[in-house]
């Protein structure tokens, strides 16, 4: 779909009054410039025959008309701008909705981020993209009408004038359009440079980086980088400016030709006695106004075109996805709630390759997790544990092979229903800058009983009681001055509470949940684990191999496959890699510590 029809549709959806305002503005702003072109001409024609009263009447009437038009046009401009923002904010939220609902896999594709960045820039600034188009639409029809009006006035001089005006108008348009395209393509080609400059600026001024910059005194070096980028950008900017100058000069020359010809014609007519002073005034004023308005029109058209191109990215990104969502809603997929009591998972020949890579992260993986089992998933960094979890959660689609839940392929289910089954705590979970309660419930309402239970079981209640507004305390300081930060351990408890709050979940997945917990909190978690996982199937991912003690079985992942599978004791007896890694960790907990690491002699 094209940007302007799309935006008009959105305007009609979100704020139809704007369309009326556009109409009113068009009529008034088109008529407006004519008033003070016609009045002097009328005076010059009639001053010898009019009475005083007639003069006053004419002028005052015209004046009142101009005042009214002036007032309305000015008032409309402000009001319209505010409404534009309203529409724009809706679009920002639409973009967020689409981005947050699209298949998670899309986040892996660099193309997606690029598209979203473009889409984002077309709605985040009031002057660009959607905002620019909408703001430009207001005066546009008025400008078109004005230009038509003035050109028909001038055309009455002679049909040749009309042809000349049209030709010059078109050539002006072509020149300005050409320039816009040119500068767009220049901008595109050195956008990476601009992006890097901005990224670097953001990185340096990110509060999280500050400690390192201070402690290692790296500011001067970073500043040198900033300057390097700034210098390169300046070179480009100057080049672009020069090109702009060339275009503008061409434009000026073309206008010169027009002005000379039209003026010459007017003078000739006058000299031949074919017009009088009043008409002369009319035409020369008309020419001046025409020049001004046509330039405004062309500039507006070109800007709208430019911003349309930018905004097209928004449409190209959101429309297909929105259609997809609609389709998914109508396709009847099996409702999962009735099918699954406690999930049994079967993974068959699962292979997964990240986009734009060749080596599979998971290769022909097979695993059977009986209903209600507490499985520990262990392996070294980069073995693919998190990837497997994401595949289970339906965040990624397998490259080949499948995952069955109670015998049915997980992709046969409705996505939302399927996600109801899962509570997962990932390593890189983020706090939302809302209240603590919001962070746990992830909804605008709350099940009080479930909330209390979740908060107790996760150990978060101690944390909550220390906070100024308990669970209504805001986290982070983005929305509230009194926002609070949580320590690593407190966060972990909160994320656990969130996972436990979801009473519909039958599958609990914890990815490195104890990394930030102190030894006692860690032990507490393990002790309560049986409690959390009652009636559920669960997967505990960790490389603290001790955590596997309270799980039913251990799956050891390496090179994309499950290399070892069994209870902890079975795997120790096998003396494979699991046993080796376990020993590496365990030996330091023995009374007689070895001297291998160069540690001082122990008692």
Partner 1 sequence: MSNIRKSFSYFGKSTLLYYLWLFFSSLVSGLSPVLYVYMPKLILDELLSTRQPIILWQYVAILALGALLLNLLRHFANMRFESYSFQALYVLTEKLTEKATAIPYHESESKHTLDLKERATRSLDYLWSLKDVMMTTGSALVTLITSAILILSWKWWLLPLLLGLNLLTIPLLQRLRLLEVDNNERSMPETRAFVYFTEISRDFRYAKDLRLYNGVELMLTRAKASMDKILAVNHEYFTKSGALNGLIMVLVELQSTVVFLILGTALMIRTITVGNFVLIYNAARQFGQVLSVLFEQTRQIMTINLELTSFIKFMALPEIEDFNAENQHEEIVPAVRQAIALARSGQVSLEVRQLSFAYPEQDALILDDLSLSIPSGETVALVGRNGAGKTTLVKLICRLYQPQSGQILLNGVDIAQIPLPEYYRLLSVTFQDFQLMPVLLSENLCGKLQSEQTEDDLEHIRQALRDTEMLSWAEEQKDGIHVPITRLLDEEGAIPSGGQEQKLAIARNICHGGALMILDEPTSALDPRNEEQVFGMMLRLTRGSSSMFVSHRLSSTRYADRIFVLDGGKLIQEGNHSQLMSEDGLYRTMYLAQASQYQDNQ
Cβ proximity to partner 1: between 148 and 234 the closer is 234
577: nearest Cα among 594, 563, 589: 563
Q: How far is the CB of 401 from partner 1 (least distance, A)?
A: 22
Using CB atoms within 10 Å of the CB of residue 71, give its burial: 0 to 12 exposed, 13 to 18 middle, 19+ buried: exposed
Of the pair 269, 348, the CB lying nearest partner 1 is at 269
Nearer to partner 1, 86 or 349 (CB): 86
Identity of the residue, 26 or 119, whose beta carbon is nearer to partner 1 in the bound complex = 119
List residues bridging with 557 in a β-sheet. 562
The least distance separating partner 1 from the CB of residue 69, rounded to whole angstroms, comes to: 8
Nearer to partner 1 by Cβ, of 107 and 400: the residue is 107
Q: Are 337 and 417 in contact (CB under 8 A)?
A: yes
Nearer to partner 1, 348 or 572 (CB): 572
Tokens (6 digits) for 549:
């003690």
Report the number of secondary-structure helices (H) and strands (E) in the chain.
19, 10
How crowded is the C-beta side of 227, counted as CA atoms within 13 Å? 6
70 and 28 Cβ atoms separated by less than 8 Å: no
Q: Which is nearer to partner 1, 368 or 477 (CB)?
A: 477
Least distance CB 555 / partner 1 (angstroms): 15
Rounded Cα distance, 385 and 494, in Å:
23
Dist. CA 459–CA 496, nearest whole Å: 9
Q: How far is the CB of 349 from partner 1 (least distance, A)?
A: 25
Closer to partner 1 at the Cβ: 62 or 145?
Answer: 62
Q: How far is the CB of 494 from partner 1 (least distance, A)?
A: 12
Provide the minimum distance between the beta carbon of 269 and partner 1 in the complex, in angstroms, as a whole number.
10
| β-pair partners for 425 | 510
Nearest distance, CB of residue 55 and partner 1, angstroms: 5
* Least CB distance to partner 1 at residue 166 (A): 21
Nearest approach in angstroms of CB 445 to partner 1 is 10
| Closest to 374 in 3D by CA, of 170, 554, 159, 113 | 554
Give Rg (Cα) of the chain. 35
Q: How far apart are CA 22 and CA 5, in angstroms?
A: 15
Residue 70's nearest CA partner among 25, 18, 19 is 25
* Helices marked H in 102-190: 110-121, 129-155, 159-189
User: Can you tell me the distance from the alpha carbon of 545 to that of 441, in angstroms, rounded to the nearest whole number?
Assistant: 31
Apex CA 393: angle with CA 502 and CA 534, to 5°? Answer: 45
Q: How many CB atoms lie within 10 A of CB 567?
A: 15
CB closer to partner 1, 74 vs 328: 74
């Amino acid at each position: 779909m094209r940007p302007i029809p799309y935006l008009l549709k959105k305007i009609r959806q979100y704020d139809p009054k704007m369309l009326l305002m556009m109409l009113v503005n068009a009529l008034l702003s088109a008529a407006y410039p004519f008033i003070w072109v016609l009045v002097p001409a009328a005076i010059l024609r009639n001053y010898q025959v009019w009475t005083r009263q007639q003069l006053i009447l004419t002028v005052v009437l015209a004046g009142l008309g101009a005042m009214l038009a002036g007032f309305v046009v000015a008032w409309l401009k402000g009001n319209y701008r505010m409404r534009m923002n309203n529409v724009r904010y809706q679009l920002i939220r639409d973009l967020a909705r689409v981005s947050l609902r699209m298949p998670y896999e899309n986040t892996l594709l660099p193309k997606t981020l690029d598209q979203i960045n473009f889409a984002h820039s077309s709605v985040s600034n009031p002057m660009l993209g959607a905002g620019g188009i909408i703001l430009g639409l207001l005066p546009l029809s008025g400008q078109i009408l004005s230009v038509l009006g003035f050109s028909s006035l001038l055309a009455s001089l002679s049909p040749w004038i009309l042809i000349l005006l049209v030709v010059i108008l078109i050539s002006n348009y072509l020149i300005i359009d050409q320039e816009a395209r040119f500068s767009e393509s220049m901008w595109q080609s050195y956008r990476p440079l601009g992006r890097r400059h901005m990224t670097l600026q953001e990185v340096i001024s990110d509060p999280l980086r500050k400690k390192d910059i201070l402690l290692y005194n790296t500011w001067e070096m970073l500043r040198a980088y900033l300057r390097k980028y700034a210098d390169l950008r300046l070179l480009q900017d100057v080049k672009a400016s020069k090109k702009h100058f060339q275009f503008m000069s061409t434009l000026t020359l073309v206008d010169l030709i027009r002005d000379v010809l039209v003026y010459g014609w007017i003078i000739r007519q006058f000299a031949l006695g074919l017009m009088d002073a009043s008409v002369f005034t009319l035409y020369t004023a008309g020419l001046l106004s025409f020049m001004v308005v046509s330039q405004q029109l062309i500039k507006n058209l070109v800007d709208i075109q430019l911003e349309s191109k930018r905004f097209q990215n928004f449409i190209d990104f959101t429309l297909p996805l929105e259609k997809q969502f609609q389709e998914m809603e109508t396709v009847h997929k099996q409702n999962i709630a009735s099918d699954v009591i406690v999930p049994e998972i079967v993974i068959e020949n699962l292979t997964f390759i990240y986009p734009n890579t060749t080596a599979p992260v998971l290769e022909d993986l097979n695993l059977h997790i009986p209903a209600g089992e507490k499985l520990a998933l262990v392996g070294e960094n980069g073995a693919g544990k998190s990837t497997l979890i994401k595949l289970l959660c339906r965040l990624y689609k397998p490259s080949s092979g499948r995952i069955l839940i109670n015998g049915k392929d997980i992709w046969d289910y409705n996505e939302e229903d399927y996600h109801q089954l899962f509570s997962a705590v990932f390593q890189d979970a983020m706090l939302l800058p809302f209240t603590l309660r919001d962070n746990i419930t992830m909804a605008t309402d709350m099940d009080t009983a479930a909330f209390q239970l979740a908060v107790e079981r996760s150990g978060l209640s101690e944390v909550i009681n220390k906070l100024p507004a308990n669970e209504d305390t805001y986290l982070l300081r983005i929305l509230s001055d009194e926002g609070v930060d949580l320590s690593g351990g407190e966060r972990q408890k909160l994320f656990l509470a969130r996972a436990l709050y979801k009473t519909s979940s039958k599958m609990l997945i914890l990815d490195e949940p104890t990394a930030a917990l102190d030894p006692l909190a860690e032990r507490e978690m393990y002790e309560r684990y049986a409690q959390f996982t009652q009636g559920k199937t669960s997967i505990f991912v960790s490389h603290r191999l001790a955590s596997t003690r309270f799980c039913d079985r251990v799956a050891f992942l390496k090179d994309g496959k499950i290399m070892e599978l069994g209870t902890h004791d079975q795997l120790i007896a096998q003396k494979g890699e699991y046993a080796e890694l376990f020993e590496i960790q365990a030996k330091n907990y023995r009374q007689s510590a070895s001297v291998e690491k160069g540690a001082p002699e122990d008692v």
